[in-house]
Amino acid sequence: MFSEEVKQLINRTKTSSSRLDQLRLFLDDKGMIRCEGRIEHSSVSSEAKKPVLLPAKHHVTDLIIQEHHDSTNHTGIKGTLNRIRKRYWILHGRQAAKRVLRKYSVKRCLKKSIDRATLSFEELRTILIEIESTLNNRPITYIYDDEEGISYPLTPSCLLYGRRTTTTPDDSQFEIVSTNESLTRRAQHHKTLLKQFTKQWRREYLLSIREAASSSNNGTRDVIAEGDIVILKNESTKRLFWKIAKVEKLIRSIDGVVRSEKIRVLNSETRKPIIMRRPIQHLIPLEIRSKFGNENEEEQVDVNEESSETQDLSTEPLDSDVKTAVVEKKNRPKRKAAVQGELVRKLSKQT
């Protein structure tokens, strides 16, 4: 079990197809394989930050899934998997939980018994209304167990009616006249709900992004370097009004991956350049790069060749200052059309 990974961790060697890069595996003091993801600086427990790695198909894994399923009062796959991820990280965890819990579930037997029952029209209509209410109360995101209180997942009924439709609301929830005390009470209740949604976000989202995504897509992803000209993405405005910026500095995280950059952009109010820090997902690279990449060497524009081709189009040779103007900025790449346009402008001024 994980013999290849253990050898690579001991010898500090890895292959391109290894899980070491994706899960960032390491050996602890007891010789157990643990995962180290992107939530190292979060507020979750230390065991949740660095859980123990478990295989998908193993007897010990099945026992752990069954134990946590019983401890969560049979809440289902989502609640069981959330409880497990507080200490362990199972490869293909959702599939493993489905495989194990399918053996101990009695829902299929109940469903078959109800399907065979003979119901009247009123009974059938009542059951259909209950099914509609149940479907509208299904969570939109994954449900995770809340040890400190009652969990209120986001459901379609919350968006349609502002409450869960499984129970009838009390008369006290409807007020004819709003007073200072009632509004203050509702504000406190709203603040409490925000805290609960924060805890819910930590459970449902933060623990699920442990796997580090690959930084390249088949090795063809463009890398933004210092000095590149980029477009600053802004969701609040149309694409036509997105600003153009220049990358000043790359900001690397602890793992050495560039996730944000400092850019120089023109302020709309003062009309002066300012330095801003933006995530790399909001920067769209353009063709204007700070230097030639190794992959684009075949597509580079040879300035000398372009100048010689343009000389053939003209009857008069180019002066030395024209050649200097074309070649003096070799370290800043130019497109073929830009080089030709500059030469045409120089020739038109001489004539």
Residue 87 clears pLDDT 70, i.e. is over it: yes
Query: What values do phi and psi take at 17, rounded to 5?
Result: -95, 15
* DSSP conformational letter for 156: H
Residues 132, 117 within the same domain: yes
Whether 321 maps to a domain, the answer reads no
Within 10 Å of residue 318's Cβ, how many Cβ atoms?
19
What is the average pLDDT across 249-264?
87
Whether 307 maps to a domain, the answer reads no
Q: Which residue has the tokens 């694409």?
A: 239
- Which residues constitute the domain of residue 52? 3-102
Cα 61 off chain centre by: 28
| Distances, alpha carbon 151 to alpha carbons 147, 197, 198, in Å | 9, 9, 12
Contacts 24+ apart (CB under 8 A), 63-68: 64/88, 65/90, 65/96, 65/97, 65/100, 65/101, 66/100, 66/104
Q: Which two tokens stand for residue 5?
A: 């990974």
Asked which of 43-57, 144-158, 306-320, 321-335 is least confident by mean pLDDT, the reply is: 306-320
Mention every residue, 6+ apart, whose C-beta is less than 8 A from residue 309. none
* DSSP conformational letter for 255: T
pTM, two decimals, is 0.40
The rounded distance, in Å, linking the Cα atoms of 285 and 264 is: 14
Final residue before a domain boundary, out of 102, 124, 152: 102
In the prediction, which pLDDT does 214 show?
46
The rounded distance, in Å, linking the Cα atoms of 226 and 264 is: 11
Task: Identify the band that residue 74 occupies on the pLDDT scale cut at 50, 70 and 90.
Answer: confident
Tally of domains in the chain:
3
The rounded distance, in Å, linking the Cα atoms of 8 and 349 is: 67
Q: Are strands 88-90 and 52-54 parallel, antiparallel or unpaired?
A: parallel
Residues 94, 157 within the same domain: no
In the prediction, which pLDDT does 220 show?
41
Residues 43, 88 within the same domain: yes
Whether 315 maps to a domain, the answer reads no
Q: Which two tokens stand for residue 63?
A: 């026992």
Residues 114, 210 within the same domain: yes
Residue 143 clears pLDDT 60, i.e. is over it: no
Residues 143, 194 within the same domain: yes
Type of residue at 87: R
Residues 97, 115 within the same domain: no
In the prediction, which pLDDT does 301 show?
39
For the domain that residue 10 is a member of, what is the CATH number?
Answer: 1.10.340.70
What is the average pLDDT across 89-111?
75
Q: Which two tokens stand for residue 60?
A: 């010990």
Whether 280 maps to a domain, the answer reads yes
What is the average pLDDT across 226-234?
87
Residues 61, 9 within the same domain: yes
Whether 313 maps to a domain, the answer reads no
Whether 57 maps to a domain, the answer reads yes
Q: Which residue, among 163, 146, 19, has the nearest Cα to 89 in the 3D structure?
A: 19
Q: Which burial class, exposed, middle or buried, applies to 91 when counting CB atoms under 10 A from its CB (0-12, 13-18, 19+)?
A: middle
| pLDDT tens track for 123-140 | 667 766 776 776 677 676
Final residue before a domain boundary, out of 102, 132, 160: 102
Residues 94, 141 within the same domain: no
Mention every residue, 6+ apart, whose C-beta is less than 8 A from residue 234. 241, 242, 243, 282
**What is the percentage of the chain residues whose pLDDT exceeds 70?**
55
Q: Which burial class, exposed, middle or buried, applies to 326 when counting CB atoms under 10 A from its CB (0-12, 13-18, 19+)?
A: buried
Specify the 3-state DSSP secondary structure of 232.
Answer: strand
